[in-house]
Each structure stands twice: as structure tokens, then as C-alpha cells.
Amino acid sequence: MEPANFARPQNPPNLPAPHEHDGLRLRESDENEVPPGDTLDRYHKWDGLHPITPPPKSTEHDVGPGEGGEAYRVNRDLLSPDEQRKFDESWTNNGFNQYVSDKISVRRYLPDFRGEGCRTQQYQTILPSTSVIICFHNEDWGVLLRSVHSVIDNSPTELLKEIILVDDFSDRDYLKQPLENYIKLLRIVRIVRCVERQGLVRARLLGVQAATAEIITFLDSHIECTKGWLEPLLDRIKTNRKTVVSPLIETINDKDFHIRASHEQNTQVGGFDWNMGFTWHPAFEKDRNRVGAPYSPLRTPTIAGGLLSIDRAFFAQLGYYDPQMEVWGGENLELSFKTWMCGGALEIVVCSHIGHVFRSKSPYKWVSKVSNPVKFNSVRVAEVWLDDYKYIYYDRLDFDLGDFGDVSERKAIRQNNKCHSFKWYLDNIYPEMFSPTESVASGDIESALGPYCIDAVINDQKKDENFVRAYPCHRNRGNQLWFLSKTGEIRRDDNCWDSGATSNSIMTYNCHGLNGTQQFTYTSDGRIIHGNQCVELTSDHSSVYLTICSDFLGQRWKFSRKPYLVERMSA
């Protein structure tokens, strides 16, 4: 049965002859391949795919939809009812606007996003080759092909040894024989298929088993590589094989597929919070002032994990990924911590630009033997790598760790590599990281008027809506967990109370460490003072604001813990 979300192609083109064509390296035919000059129509039952043969590579002179990385917009209201249905299904099935993506060439032209300082950089003459591993599950046809073609079209032949597509048990028909037929036209692409759902971590490990190059490059299946993306990554690894590198990740808009180019000087670095979640931050001052800035590689405490290159031997030394992890989540922090703690380095190579479609939500149902894969994985990481700092994370779980399996083999990897302590990591790699152990008060902040606690939902996508409010106390930490730092910040991880938005409201913004709008004083009689104003709970018990200090009980607050203490937490 033909899904409605693929347009039927008009007069599918004949296959190109097996030779160099438009920069696309074609694989020589054999008895199992589609003969030159034939079409794919009789080789599969699916006649709704487009393209079914590789199109010509676009140039800067092409003016089709999405060319040059420009937005291509479709007004849904102007579509017929049938097309509106396809439009809606494209979002439901993929988590992005596949309807728009289908209008854009899978070999569209993208400009050189690099700054001048990157374009003129010279790299070592002889670089190692890489195996590119792309894992996917039920990925959209066009987005997957665009990912593959962007790798081939923007990589020197001698540096790209192979592309390995790892199919994590997809059930969409077009990802079976039609995909097999398509990649037979590409000399260096092959498919590894999982016989059951593995999740990202184990799927990547299957890709590593199949890979033959000395450098492993992991990419997501909804990306677009740009000119010059590969050489700077490989150059850094050749300079130091214990360097794990990630590109500067550009955002591909999930609605119109516009690529928003970033300037190298604005590159953010990775961090984490005590919920064991990955976070982005502006580069720290010492790194902004590094030698060769802004075009030199940028050290980072953690990496996002979706796009990276690593020396295969060093990856093996670190124990690869934890094969007991479920689905995805936590593997990037594990790799980040052990890279730094075991003698390596993490860098964002700002001269390597790769676009990535960031979905607002995943369209897939995850299959796992555990109810909460992210928690399961994160506890495993904490048990092995965080030492006593793991109790900060466990405190947020109310010490409900669940069954996280046996981690003895993972601990042996750390011991065999004689890795540093997590305190060493915090002191030397991530001194900017706030530790709750340094707070002078913590927990929920309850009003003297009754069981109403200060609460804030922190949404990084809508920072102008992150108001501090009051809700009935629930005693479950979460949005009501706060820490008072020694410098007067009231914060949750990297978000601090801030008075800068209006004259009397309080919002949360990224902590800047400059006091001013983010400095508060907690007095012995329970007031929270900012400048010459006090934090007050409104009479309806819903809002919190700054006003003239008085004896009103609505200006009296109590932290549930002074100072921060957690079971077995070492100082």
C-alpha cells in the first residue's frame, strides 16, 4: 500500500552509466545490481518514491526549492484537502516537515558556511581515512538520502573509505529493497541491518564492528555536511589520536529546511546538569581567548554525541559505548567523562560545519526492556564515573535507582586506564560547573503564608516566559528545587533568578556570575532581598514579585535544607 506522504515521480530517469558522474561515484554493476540504462520500477513494488536514482548535484546557479540552504515554505491553507492530509501526515510520521523536504533536491547546493579564517587553513598532507556510520530507524527517504549524498559530495575521495548505514529494524517498506537498490549505485555505501530493535547505542556498536577505517565518524540520519567538513576533524585526530572531535552543528529548520549559518566566534560548548542531562553554554572566557580564536578548535567539557569522530583504537581503549545501555541517552556523557578522565580531550572543531534537523519531538516508539531508558543509562554512567558526586544525581531521583544492571566491566575499564577522579574533571576541565555541595541553602522555598513554594518551569526555547511563580508545595524537587550559592545566586543548575526583565518580576536566565540582576540575599528572618526590595507572595498565592520590604508574612520564606546535605556525599 502506498503511503500518501510521497509524491509520485514523473518519468523516472534512466540509471546513469557506472562511471564518475557529477561528482557521484557510482558502483560497478554485477549480476545482483540494476543494469545500466534500466529503471528501478521493476525491481521493487514501491512506485511513490522520489528520487529513485541519484539526481545531478546542484550548483550555485540552481534556483530550485531549498537551494543555497534557503527556506522553502508551503502554505498549508492553500493546499487541497488531499495535499493537506499529506502535509499533516509528514509531520506525524517524521517529526519534521517531510512534505517540504520532498520538494528539495537530495543533492541541493549549500554555500560554504565557513569563515575566511577557516577557508584559508592548511591541513596535514596525509590524513587518515574514516568510516562514516549513520544509524536510522524509519527515517524519511529524502532526508536519509540527503544525508548520504552530502557526505559523499563534500568529502575527498581518499578520506572517505565507506559509509555504513545501520538500519535499526525499520518497518517502512521503502527502507528495504528500494534502499538496497538505490545504494547499489553508490560505490562506498552499504547497509547493516539489525534483526531486532537495538537502540542508538547498540546500533552504533554494530556499525563499528562493520567499519574498516582507523577513524570512526558517527553522524545522524537527518544531517547535511557542508564544504570542508571532514578535513579539519581528521587533522585534529592525526595530531593527537586521543582527541575526540565534534563539528559546529548548524540548525536545519524542521519546518522549511532553511540552514541558519553560525559564526565560529559564537560557537557554544557542551556541559551537563545534575539531572545528568546535556546542556549548551557560551564558551568560557579562557577558551574564547585561546590561541587562534575564533577559528581554532574549542575545548568542550562534553559533546552532544550525535556527530563526532574518534580514533578507533582509542575508542576501543575506552571500552567503546556501554553495550548494556538501552535505546539512547547518557552515552554522550559517558564518552565525554571518560575521554577527559582517561587522558584524552574533547574539542568542537569550529571549521567543520554540519547541518542537523532538530525535531521538537520524536515520532518513534522506543522498545526497551526497562521503563525509563534514559534514567537506566544515566545511573550506569553515574555509578562508574561520578564517584561520590553520583549522590547529587541520586538525590534528585529520591534514591530510586531501579535495577541498573552489572557495571563491574565498565568499572574495570576505568581502573585499567588509570583514569582521573571526577573531582579532577570538575576542577580541571569544568571548574565553571556549579556543585550543590557549595550551596548555603537548598531545597524548596516555602512561604510563611502556607504550603506554597516558589516554582519555575525552565524552557530554553521560550526564555521570555520563564517567570518565577508559586504553586502548592509538592516536595518532589523538580521545578521547586533551588540552591542558594555563596555569591547570592538562587539557581537550579545553570539557571538563576534574574530581575532584569521588568521592574518587579523575577525570571530565570542563564547564570552569568556577574551579580547585579542575579544577586539575592537570604536573611536570618527569612526575607529574600534584592537591592532594596523583597520577594513577596501575592494574596492569591500564585505570583511572586519584588516590592518594598515590610513585615508582611508574604515576604517570609524558608529553604527546606540549610546547607545542602545528601546521603554519604563527601565534601
- Residue found by looking up cell 546535605 in the block: 565
Cis peptide before 9 (omega within 30 of 0): no
Cα separation, 484 vs 563, whole angstroms: 9
Other C-beta atoms lying within 10 Å of the C-beta of residue 460? 11
3-state helix/strand/coil string of 425-492: HHHHCCCCCCCHHHCCEEEEEEECCCCEEEECCCCCCCHHHCECEEEECCCCCHHHCEEECCCCCEEE
Q: Are the C-beta atoms of residues 100 and 94 closer than 8 Å to each other?
A: no
Q: Contacts for 508-514 with beta carbons within 8 Å, 24 or more apart?
A: 508/456, 508/458, 508/466, 508/468, 509/463, 509/466, 510/281, 510/282, 511/434, 513/487
Cis peptide before 247 (omega within 30 of 0): no
The continuous run of DSSP H or E covering 245 comes out as strand 243-252
Cα separation, 78 vs 355, whole angstroms: 29
Q: Give one DSSP letter per residue of 353-394, joined into a string.
A: EEEEE--SS--SPP--SSS-HHHHHHHHHHHHHSGGGHHHHH
Cα separation, 71 vs 256, whole angstroms: 5
357 Cβ partners below 8 Å, 6+ apart? 96, 143, 222, 223, 252, 254, 257
Q: In degrees to the nearest 10, what's the CA dihedral of 160, 166, 170, 174?
A: 30
Q: Give one DSSP letter per residue of 392-426, joined into a string.
A: HHHHHTTT--------HHHHHHHHHTTPPPHHHHH
Question: How many Cα atoms within 13 Å fall on the side-chain side of residue 491?
Answer: 28
Q: Specify the pairing of strand 345-357 against strand 441-447.
A: unpaired
The amino acid occupying position 6 is F
Q: Are the C-beta atoms of residues 225 and 150 closer than 8 Å to each other?
A: yes
The amino acid occupying position 354 is I
- The pTM assigned to this predicted structure is 0.86
The C-alpha cell at 58 is 546542484
Q: Specify the pairing of strand 482-484 against strand 490-492.
A: antiparallel
Cis peptide before 294 (omega within 30 of 0): yes
The C-alpha cell at 521 is 540575599
CA angle 549, 477, 535 (to 5 degrees): 10
Q: In degrees to the nearest 10, what's the CA dihedral of 235, 323, 144, 261?
A: -50
CA 264 to chain centre: 18
Regions of the chain with pLDDT less than 50:
1-46, 567-571
The amino acid occupying position 419 is C
Fill in the DSSP letter of residue 317: H
Cα separation, 535 vs 416, whole angstroms: 53
The C-alpha cell at 510 is 542563564
495 Cβ partners below 8 Å, 6+ apart? 456, 458, 466, 508, 509, 510, 511
Q: Quote the pLDDT of residue 276.
A: 96
Fill in the DSSP letter of residue 305: S
Classify domain 41-357 by CATH number. Answer: 3.90.550.10
The continuous run of DSSP H or E covering 145 comes out as helix 141-153
Residue ranges covered by each domain of the chain: 41-357, 436-561
Q: Quote the pLDDT of residue 550.
A: 95
User: Which bin fits 566, alpha (ψ -120 to 50), beta or left (φ > 0)?
Assistant: beta
Classify domain 436-561 by CATH number. Answer: 2.80.10.50
Q: Quote the pLDDT of residue 398.
A: 86
Q: Are the C-beta atoms of residues 199 and 327 closer than 8 Å to each other?
A: yes
The C-alpha cell at 321 is 559505548
Cα separation, 415 vs 227, whole angstroms: 41
